[in-house]
Chain A
Amino acid sequence: DAKTTQPPSMDCAEGRAANLPCNHSTISGNEYVYWYRQIHSQGPQYIIHGLKNNETNEMASLIITEDRKSSTLILPHATLRDTAVYYCIVRASGSSEGAQKLVFGQGTRLTINP
């Protein structure tokens, strides 16, 4: 399974763009990059995912480098409610048992400051 590396913590001012980096240098060609976030004591919330093209939805934008070895999640106008732990996940490659699971690391703790 491809592993991801994220900074343990980041701070961002309210109203500014929050840019969260993720390295996944061992990603395989058919593996997607997923982003989730988890607000304290709640279940993870899906944000966005992509394969190689940049993606945007109502929550965020995902920028994937051309070599796919890293990506950046962008929250364009961060609010206090965006304070959470953000997980960058590469979909685990399928085994013979079909273990289509998501492998969660420790993520980045993003704090939005007023």
Chain B
Amino acid sequence: DGGITQSPKYLFRKEGQNVTLSCEQNLNHDAMYWYRQDPGQGLRLIYYSQIVNDFQKGDIAEGYSVSREKKESFPLTVTSAQKNPTAFYLCASGTFGRFFGQGTRLTVV
């Protein structure tokens, strides 16, 4: 089936550790996006990529990094520099990020 797969669904990490969230799509989309959602809030854009080997910062890129070495993959690394990493992370692809994955809930303890 075509779609966007985020893994894992739940992730726990110790404070100070970097962690990488996976996002894979088989929809042949050029554009991919990462959003962050905090409880009771809307989505905020972290990074986006419109083509392989290219990406741009979104509204809240500090403390995050991405890579886009393959069209189908857009991993997000939450670094130790991110002050409040605990959140729900959503990956999207397609024009305007129309298609979303089911999210990864990251908890830093």
* Chain A residues near B (Cβ < 8 Å): 34, 41-46, 87, 91, 97-107
B41 interface residue per 8 A CB criterion: yes
Whether B90 pairs with A44 at a CB distance below 8 angstroms is: yes
The number of residues on chain B lying at the interface, defined by a beta carbon within 8 Å of a beta carbon of chain A, is 28
B28 interface residue per 8 A CB criterion: no
Whether B50 pairs with A43 at a CB distance below 8 angstroms is: no
Prevailing SS type, chain B contact patch = strand
Pick from B4, B33, B40, B88: contact of A101, CB under 8 Å: B33
Prevailing SS type, chain A contact patch = loop
B103 interface residue per 8 A CB criterion: yes
Interface members, chain B 59-109 (any A CB < 8 Å): 88, 90, 92, 95-103, 105
B31 interface residue per 8 A CB criterion: yes
Show 26 residue pairs from A and B whose CB-CB distance is below 8 angstroms, ordered by the A residue: A34-B96, A41-B103, A43-B4, A43-B102, A43-B103, A44-B90, A44-B92, A46-B98, A46-B99, A91-B96, A97-B56, A99-B48, A99-B58, A100-B31, A100-B95, A100-B96, A101-B33, A101-B58, A101-B96, A101-B97, A102-B43, A102-B98, A103-B45, A104-B43, A106-B40, A106-B42
